[in-house]
Structure formats: C-alpha cells, structure tokens
Amino acid sequence: MTKSRRRARRTPGGRPGLRRLDDGRRARGSATREAARRAPRARDEAFFRYLVAGMRNGVLAFTRDGRLALINDEAYRIFDIAPRRDDLGRPVAELLQQHPEVVRVLHSVFDLHLLPNRAELRLRPSGKVIGYTLGLVRDDAGEVIGAAMFFKDLTRVEQLEERERLRDRLAAVGEMAAAIAHEVKNPLAGIEVMAGLLRRKIADAPDVQTVLTDIITEAKMANAIVQEVLEFVRPIRLQVERTSVGEAVQSAIQLTETKARRGDITVDARLPASLPLIHGDRYQLTQLFTNLLTNAYEAMEGRGRITISAAGVSIDDGADGREAVLVEVADQGPGMSAELAERVFKPFFTTKSQGSGLGLAIVRKIVDAHDGSIDLQTAPGHGTTIRVTLPVTALDEGH
C-alpha cells in the first residue's frame, strides 16, 4: 500500500482522481485570491460613488468626445435637470441644452492652456450664479481622456455681496441726498407756491395760466424725485411683526389705483388664506408690491391682465430648507430684452421718459431687508414675471 501510494504520487500520469482533486483545489484557491483582490477594489469604487454623491459641490465629468461620464445630485439640482437612467453616456450638450453658456465653457476646456480656477458664471434662465473650477482627467500614461467641472451655487453669496456693495453706494449717495434735501427741496417748494400765487392773480390770461400750471407740475415732479431719492438712501428700519403677505398685496392693489392709471387692466389675485405669516414690515411690503404693480401698469398702458399668485415654499440656502412665501407678479406687457432685464434693479436706471429709476431698486432694497430674494423672467413680446421669495423667519432670527 505504501509503495503504491508513493508510486501514484511519483507517476506523472498518476490516478485521474488525484489530479482532478489538485486542480480543483488550485482553482478554488485562485478564485479566492481573485475575489480577495476584487473586494477592496469594489469597496473603493463604492466609497468613491458615495463620496461624489454626497458632495455639497456639483461635480460633472465628461470624456474627450463630449459624453457624460459622471454627475452627482447637487449638479442636477443646480442645473434644474431631472435625472434619467440613461444620462451617463449622453452628449453633455444634450444634457445641458438649457444652459448653452455652460456647454460653451465645457467644449473649450481641451483648447485652453490655462484652465479657469474659481471663475463665475450666471445661469439662464434661472439667474443662479455658480463658481466653478475646471480640470483635465488623464490616464496612467498621462494622456488626456476627459475633463471635469467642480462648481458651487453662489447665488446667495452673490446676493449678500451685492447687498454690501449697495450699502456702500448708499452711504455715499446718502450724504449727497441730505445736501440735496436742504439745497433743492426748499427752493422747489418756493417755486411751486409762488407760481400758484401768480396763477391766481392773473386768472384772465389763459396762456400764462398754462405756463404757470406747467411750472407747478414740473416743480412737483422734481420734488417727488428728491423725496424718492431720500427714501431710497434712507436705511430701512423694519417694524417687524407677524404679517400676512396676502393682506399686503391687497393693500398694494388698492394703493396703486392712486399712483398710476389702471385703465382696462384686469388684476387677478390668487392669494390662498393658508399662506404662512412671515416676520416682516407690513408697510414696507405694501410699498414693495405697490411699486411692482405701478411699474406693470405703466408698462401695459391700460390694457391686459396682471396675475398675482402666492404659495408657501421651502428654500434651500444653507439653512436646511427654510419655509418661505413665493409671490409671482406676471403681466402681459411688452417685456424686455435680456440686456435690459439685467439692469432694471439697478438704481437710477429707467427706460421711461420721466422717472427717477428708483422704483425697482427700492423693491430690491425692501426684499433684501427681509432677507428674501427677487428674480425676473421676461422676453420681448412675452410680458414680465417677477418672483419675490420672502422667508417666514430671517436667518438671524433662528428657526
């Protein structure tokens, strides 16, 4: 028996059963070692996927031929795109067809000698501002096989910076406005009074009466502009209380009747009674919506419909989804070009023959004071929609 076993081990052919047994052991050992090698790799890939998916920055990567290789949830949110199962492998230009400005940046990445770092870009039509960095993706041989964009929604930061810039400008303009109030307002009042007295004394001269009436009208207009400038530069001190946005809008509708010609314009107010109360200044909010309606009346020239709607929403601005009220004011006016739309909230900009250009600037100032946001959607011939978002509670008031 012993010799037979030794002979079996020494014989190359041996017994078939022994060879199959050894082969099976080797195969199982090889499979075990391969599985052991793959396990860490699978864990690393899963960790990488979880890492990218959980990033608070948007991540988008694409291959050299322009096809999507990677995108995370934050990128979908920032670009306002609904995820699809077949997104990976799609042309980036197709995925981002609503953002041609982003597509242009991505398509130029392989031709640039110095890639942008911490650059900014405004998305249309949402108006969001993103800060982005571009990087090339290389293989083990150093060949460029794709590129990646890392970006963050800076809209809130941009608003805060703009608010600070506005405050700096207001500080300088405020000093000038105080001088204007003393140096111009009193003489204007004197001109108006003296022209009125003169008009009463020469009631039998119609031509002179017409001239004096024009003088009084112009003096009143100049005085109104001075008052508006003073109102704009004066710091807003909110009288905060639990306020109904719906009631502020209704008050604005009534007040606008005394400020602008309504004509045949229909105002359709859709204001649910279930809207949450916000911490705000009732007077300032009424002025905000009065200015918006006045602007819409003047743009529509007495014809058409204005729709005012409101709804409770949740805003994600780093405060874990704050509750807010969204008010939309949509008119059927002539609309405006993208170039004009970017400037309408700037102080002293106006397209009217008469006016100070401060109406919408004051609107933005009031919105900022309530820690809210405002954006505009418009196009020539398609009217204008202004969206005002007012948080129920300001950031510095807690939750």
Same domain, 16 and 95: no
* Residue 82, both tokens: 């609904």
Asked which of 153, 176, 199 is the last residue of a domain, the reply is 153
Which residues form the domain of 361?
Answer: 239-399
Same domain, 134 and 177: no
Same domain, 223 and 244: no
Same domain, 383 and 302: yes
Of the candidates 44, 46, 76, 38, the residue with the CA atom closest to the CA atom of residue 59: 76
Asked which of 188, 215, 235 is the last residue of a domain, the reply is 235
Same domain, 396 and 325: yes
Asked which of 193, 213, 235 is the last residue of a domain, the reply is 235
Number of domains in the chain: 4
Same domain, 176 and 139: no
Residues 344, 350: Cα–Cα separation, whole Å: 7
Output the pLDDT for position 238: 84
- Contact 59/72 with Cβ under 8 angstroms? yes
Whole-prediction pTM = 0.53
User: What CA dihedral angle connects 72, 73, 76 and 78, to 10 degrees?
Assistant: -110
Residues 222, 74: Cα–Cα separation, whole Å: 51
Same domain, 30 and 83: no
Output the pLDDT for position 254: 92
CATH of the domain at 137: 3.30.450.20
- Kindly list the averaged pLDDT for each block of 10 residues, start to end, along the chain of length 399: 46 49 57 57 64 78 93 91 91 92 92 84 84 91 92 80 71 70 78 85 82 86 77 77 94 89 88 93 94 90 91 72 90 87 79 69 88 89 92 65
Output the pLDDT for position 356: 64
Same domain, 147 and 164: no
Displacement of CA 200 from its chain's centroid (Å):
55
Output the pLDDT for position 320: 56
* Residue 84, both tokens: 């699809």
Same domain, 124 and 197: no
The Cα angle at residue 113 between residues 107 and 119, in degrees rounded to 5: 65
- Per DSSP bridges, beta strands 384-391 and 373-378 are antiparallel
Same domain, 164 and 182: yes
Output the pLDDT for position 358: 76
Output the pLDDT for position 46: 67
CATH of the domain at 165: 1.10.287
Output the pLDDT for position 319: 47
Same domain, 95 and 40: no
Residues 235, 3: Cα–Cα separation, whole Å: 108
Output the pLDDT for position 397: 53
Residues 212, 220: Cα–Cα separation, whole Å: 12
DSSP string, 100-161: HHHHHHHHTGGG-SS--SSEEEE-TTT--EEEEEEEEEE-TTS-EEEEEEEEEE-HHHHHHH
Q: How many CB atoms lie within 10 A of CB 98?
A: 14
Q: How many CB atoms lie within 10 A of CB 180?
A: 16
Residues 9, 214: Cα–Cα separation, whole Å: 124
DSSP string, 257-281: TTTS--TT-EEEEE--TTPPPEEE-
Same domain, 248 and 274: yes
Of the candidates 196, 202, 197, the residue with the CA atom closest to the CA atom of residue 219: 196
